[in-house]
Structure 1
């Protein structure tokens, strides 16, 4: 082994070690850094327009963009989070006291069912509805206790949350100001052909935009409209149910209907026909169509992942990264599929030019 080869391999080992060490140090703030990057990608067009308007004054443009992020993203999220924690505490107290009893609501629905439905349930082996009622009540209390515990834990970690928020905003300022330069420098470090680099960068930006600006904004809109309708109909815990509908709207094949549809059924079978009809029509014609109306506007014609890939990657991301997995999961899935899409062309490039000279890539796998 000659000296140059030894030095190069030693350098690669050292590079790997210092890179792993650096990422290990940053690990406690991975969420802050990730969301700073995501927000920088989302608000890059705003930063670019402001910078051109102020004739290259990057600090001023980044400061104004950061203020916009604070006003339309950070502050509303803080206010909603505080109100949500308070409402969770209220709902949990009602669950423990028995004032809010899912089992009782289930019994009312069951009693309103025609005898033929009871016969079918008995045939299926679920004729004893009292056991189901008891399990629903116990499950609701246990779920409420878990959510309340998480909310209390979140409140106790206020200092850590504030530090993470500060880190995110601080990094976001520099990413807004120097993001284009950092992207160009990072692209030079990637040992791929120029066309492959552009493909990955476009895919990363597209998925961030589609997931955050598309999926999350659509989900928030659906949850907000659902919570508003719950409030109009006088349903307790409208804010909490709106947040739950927002989270469920992020999952394909699940959606906000998992919340509003049972409530509409409850209204219909317990005699509140008008409320049931209004909620059903609103859920189908407004909440259900929001996705088809808003997504093309927010995402445009960007290619999205198959629904089953989004569902599995989102659930997997949640289990690994917590709430941040709503974005990290689909992003990882998109980059995985993009890399394998490029694999055949990369093999052909190597076969055509094994010496590694840059060869023109037509963008087709």
Structure 2
């Protein structure tokens, strides 16, 4: 006759409570620099293969391999992002100054658009109480101006908070070095600590690392491609601050299906209704046939194929993740979605949960 499993003793229960409390406390301590820790882990996963190649090239010297990998990350990731960020701040400040001085008049832009609308559109706006057109124009102009000023102020704040940025960057690079050098040992200890069978742990950990690699590499490559193509089009058509709009399009392209069109489509409509017909048509063709196809073809190949998630789940998890976690959410959201799918697949296929 099999005996029942022994209940936890008071000592064991007390230790589990203590373990939970100190874990929550440690997480609370790290919370102010969650972004630095998170991206340190992400970069360690992304560049682990490079570290392993350098480890073999240096004949098994982990410290040297980790330092060389860290130097590579600084050169190909940190420096380009910093240079683009500095240029972005400069252009955002320029846009803010033009709005404040009246050289960039959103009211004028909207008057031009409203003046070019056909009469049936004006009548439709009247029917839905969206007129007087003057009041609508004033509200939309104020919203656009306010949005531009908020974006510029955020860019200015990034420049003013340089110390916080440098502290976070230092923490990330410092942590990244140890994650590269000691990553396999730390991963093994975490796997051993998780109270699941080896089959479960292997499946879930593999899903975790695969989704992070696919999501970051895929989304970042798509964002860079769409932002660069959109910024190039804006520069060619003479749109002010093309780098600023390129970065905005790159950021929005993290959202599957919609993305960069939220920027280039209104600009194309503005060109059309204000008489710049060829510019509007050219931007629509470029946005649809070039920028749009980058998203339609690259994202499923780079993201959905490796994560084994359907497109709609990638979209919903990305939007939801970014709503909850900000920019970090474009990675966290799909990771949680992939673990959700993997966990339910394990549950459905596990005999211990379905003995019949």
| TM-score (ref. length: structure 1) | 0.88
Unmatched 5+ residue regions in structure 1? 354-365
Matched, 1:142 2:146: yes
Deviation at 1:119, TM superposition (A): 3.1
Matched, 1:19 2:13: no
Residues in 2 aligned to 1:277 and 1:152: alpha-carbon distance in whole angstroms: 35
Residue aligning to 2:186: 182
Deviation per CA, 1:264-307: give whole Å up to 9, x if none: 12212222222222211211111111124433664483135444
Deviation at 1:227, TM superposition (A): 1.0
Matched, 1:250 2:246: no
Matched, 1:234 2:238: yes
Residue aligning to 1:48: 52
Residue aligning to 1:133: 137
Unmatched 5+ residue regions in structure 2? 1-5
Deviation at 1:336, TM superposition (A): 3.0
Distance 1:110 1:207, change over 3 A: same
Deviation at 1:180, TM superposition (A): 2.1
Q: Map residues 53-68 of structure 1 onto 2, 5 A cutoff.
A: 53-68=57-72
Residues in 2 aligned to 1:104 and 1:342: alpha-carbon distance in whole angstroms: 60
Question: Aligned to 1:6, which of 1, 10, 35?
Answer: 10
Distance 1:309 1:60, change over 3 A: same
Residues in 1 aligned to 2:26 and 2:122: alpha-carbon distance in whole angstroms: 63
Deviation per CA, 1:311-340: give whole Å up to 9, x if none: 444344334333322322332333233323
Deviation at 1:88, TM superposition (A): 1.1
Residue aligning to 1:99: 103
SS of 1:213's partner is helix
Q: Map residues 219-230 of structure 1 onto 2, 5 A cutoff.
A: 219-230=223-234
CA contact (8 A) 2:304 2:314 kept: no
SS of 1:100's partner is coil
Residues in 1 aligned to 2:300 and 2:311: alpha-carbon distance in whole angstroms: 16
Name the Cα RMSD after superposition.
2.4
Distance 1:37 1:275, change over 3 A: same
SS of 1:301's partner is helix
Residues in 2 aligned to 1:296 and 1:124: alpha-carbon distance in whole angstroms: 40
CA contact (8 A) 1:222 1:246 kept: yes
Residues in 2 aligned to 1:295 and 1:157: alpha-carbon distance in whole angstroms: 34
Moved more, 118-127 or 191-200: 118-127
Deviation at 1:350, TM superposition (A): 4.8
Residues in 2 aligned to 1:271 and 1:146: alpha-carbon distance in whole angstroms: 30
Residue aligning to 1:286: 290
CA contact (8 A) 1:96 1:141 kept: no
Residue aligning to 1:314: 318
Residues in 2 aligned to 1:177 and 1:330: alpha-carbon distance in whole angstroms: 27
Distance 1:43 1:309, change over 3 A: same
Moved more, 14-23 or 334-343: 334-343
Distance 1:351 1:312, change over 3 A: closer
Residues in 2 aligned to 1:219 and 1:287: alpha-carbon distance in whole angstroms: 10
Residue aligning to 1:30: 34
CA contact (8 A) 1:92 1:141 kept: no
SS of 2:305's partner is coil
Residue aligning to 1:155: 159
Count matched residues. Answer: 351
Matched, 1:265 2:266: no
Matched, 1:166 2:170: yes
Residue aligning to 1:329: 333
Residues in 1 aligned to 2:276 and 2:175: alpha-carbon distance in whole angstroms: 52
CA contact (8 A) 1:36 1:172 kept: yes
Moved more, 224-233 or 326-335: 326-335
Residue aligning to 1:114: 118
Deviation at 1:155, TM superposition (A): 2.3
